[in-house]
């Protein structure tokens, strides 16, 4: 038993070491704007960095614009649902008033007669069920 536990622990340690030593790839931005590290021309490097910043600013502006539109649409949807619920609640009240006299009246139904002997013995066990007993040889 001890050998199994030790083997499992060693296997777990090796598994953790493989995960810890594995190289993690960092997620990069858009590849078409990636600046090559081998570029020697400083003016070109500065122009590419400026272009990348401009791209990121435009992208964030577009994302903010559409996030605002999405928020407005969500609010509009919630308002439409609220008005629709209010409309259907009013229609429900009209239907309930229309059929108020036709409801099923439970007070008119009389309970069936239960003999007093059965009513007074709540803990009485039920009779045995027809089960086959499994006998082992």
Encode the chain in three state secondary structure.
CHHHHHHHHHHHHHHHHHHHHCCCCCCCCCHHHCCCCCCCCHHHHHHHHHHHHHHHHHHHHHHHHHHHHHHHHHHHHHHHHHHHHHHHHHHHHHHHHHCHHHCCCHHHCCCCCCCHHHHCCCCCCCCCCCCCCCCCC
Residue 15 reports pLDDT greater than 90: no
Range of the domain at 69: 31-101
Q: And the tokens for 40?
A: 């020697």
pLDDT digits (tens, 9 = 90+) for 88-121: 999 999 999 888 875 555 565 566 666 555 555 5
pLDDT digits (tens, 9 = 90+) for 96-105: 988 887 555 5
* 124 falls within a domain: no
* 94 falls within a domain: yes
* 9 falls within a domain: no
Q: Rounded to 5 degrees, what angle do the CA atoms 97, 99, 103 make?
A: 115
**How many domains, in total, are found in the chain?**
1
Q: And the tokens for 133?
A: 């007993």
- Tell me the whole-structure pTM to 2 decimals: 0.44
Q: How many CB atoms lie within 10 A of CB 45?
A: 14
Quickly tell me which residue has 């999405």 as its tokens: 70
* 90 falls within a domain: yes
* 3 falls within a domain: no
* 53 falls within a domain: yes
């Amino acid at each position: 038993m001890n050998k199994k536990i030790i083997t499992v622990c060693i296997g777990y340690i090796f598994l953790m070491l493989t995960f810890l030593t594995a190289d993690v790839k960092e997620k990069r931005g858009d590849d078409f704007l990636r600046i090559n590290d081998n570029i020697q021309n400083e003016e070109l490097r500065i122009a590419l960095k400026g272009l990348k910043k401009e791209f990121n600013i435009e992208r964030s502006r577009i994302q903010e614009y559409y996030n605002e539109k999405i928020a407005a649409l969500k609010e509009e949807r919630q308002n439409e649902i609220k008005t629709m619920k209010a409309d259907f609640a009013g229609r429900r009240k009209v239907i309930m008033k229309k059929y108020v006299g036709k409801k099923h009246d439970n007070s008119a139904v009389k309970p069936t007669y239960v003999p007093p002997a059965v009513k007074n013995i709540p803990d009485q066990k039920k009779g045995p069920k027809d089960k086959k007993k499994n006998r082992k040889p």
